[in-house]
Amino acid sequence: MSEGKSALLVMGCPEVPVQMSMVIYLTHKLKKAGWDVTVAGTNAAVKLLKVADPESYYVQKMVDLDRLIADVVEKKIDFDICFAFMHSDAGMTYGATFSAISKARLFAVVFGKNAEALGESIDYPAEKIVAVAAHNPAPLKVKIDKVAL
Amino acid sequence: MSCIEQMKYKLYLERTSFKEAREYIEKNSEEVYYVDPGYKIFKDYYIIGVPPVAMGVRGGEMLFTYVKPCHGTFVMGIDSEEEIARLRENEEKKIKKSLKGGVRDKAEAKAAPMSFSEMYRN
């Protein structure tokens, strides 16, 4: 049962379109399964999400990524699971940080044109969900749907 | 935005990979220290990185990695005797902790070996 359990979705740079689509999809899916979902991102990513979901129908809890990292390090908050979205070296680095500071079961959601190479470069504890996907979310959705929680 | 961006800093590498930034710090510092991701510097910056996260000291300047999700990794340098002293102090604590662990391990190791004759004595 996932009732009362908490999930964190960490958005990377929002320049690859599939990220926003998959964040909204996964938030909806997790909420329906009883998870308490928080989405963290940069200013730009959070703004995109707020405009796409103006009445917070899909995402109720949105937080600034740097603020959240501070709170996890200071042990003010933590989560049961964490999905870190990444399509670049910087995103991969944020994933490594969550792997080190949080006790959450970590999923590295790797997408974009170089997803396979980026996925191979991840050597920290994380379950990898890798799909070469930039504009079409279907390959990533298929992989995410296979995750057993 | 972190307070770091409002401080007086120098940029030595821009928009690079974390691995290259770490190598730059290792090659261009007089002293190199390794910290965990989440190590706090200045007022409010928590280091983002793939362990081991290298931090360097060159003269009175501290070299460190600064990661921005849309722009990659930067190597920054900021003059701060206070932060350098904290880095050195942190390293000393780590050494002391590992030494204490070593002494305890040795003590346990001393107690453990036992000959067969001792085992069957009782």
* For chain A, percent of residues with pLDDT exceeding 90: 96
The pTM for the full model equals 0.88
- Which residues from chain A sit within 8 angstroms of residue B43, using beta carbons? none
pLDDT, tens digit (0-9, with 9 covering 90-100), for B51-108: 999 999 999 999 999 999 999 999 999 999 999 999 999 888 888 877 776 555 544 4
Question: How far, rounded to the nearest angstrom, does the alpha carbon of residue A73 sit from its chain's CA centroid?
Answer: 18
Question: What's the pLDDT tens digit per position in A14-73?
Answer: 999 999 999 999 999 999 999 999 999 999 999 999 999 999 999 999 999 999 999 999
Q: Does A88 touch chain B (CB under 8 A)?
A: yes
A12:B69 CB<8 A: yes
| CATH number where A41 lies | 3.40.50.10160
Residue pLDDT, tens place only, A71-108: 999 999 999 999 999 999 999 999 999 999 999 999 99
Rounded to the nearest 10 degrees, the angle between the axes of helix A138-145 and helix A18-32 is 30
Mean residue pLDDT across chain A: 96
Determine contact: B36 vs chain A, CB below 8 A: yes
Instruction: Return d(Cα A84, Cα A98) in angstroms, integer.
Output: 8
| Domain interval for residue A90 | 6-135
**Whole-Å CA distances, A68 to A61, A76, B4, B38:** 12, 9, 17, 11
Region B32-53 average pLDDT: 95
Residue with tokens 């360097």: B56
CA A48 from chain centre, in angstroms, equals 15
Question: A98 to chain B, minimum CA–CA distance in Å?
Answer: 8
> For chain A, what is the domain count?
1
Separation CA B3–CA B46 (nearest Å):
11
B119 — pLDDT class (breaks 50, 70, 90): very low
- Residue A8, token pair as written in the block: 């964190």
Residue listed under structure tokens 């409010």: B44
Chain A, window 50-79: residues with a beta carbon less than 8 angstroms from a chain B beta carbon: 65-66, 69-70, 72-73
> Closest approach of chain A CAs to the CA of B41, in angstroms?
12
- Domain limits, chain B: 3-113
Residue A60 within any structural domain of the chain:
yes
Residue B39: closest C-alpha in chain A? A73
Q: Nearest-5° angle of CA B87, CA B33, CA A87?
A: 110
* Assigned domain for A142 exists: no
Residue B4 pLDDT grade (very low, low, confident, very high; cuts 50, 70, 90): confident
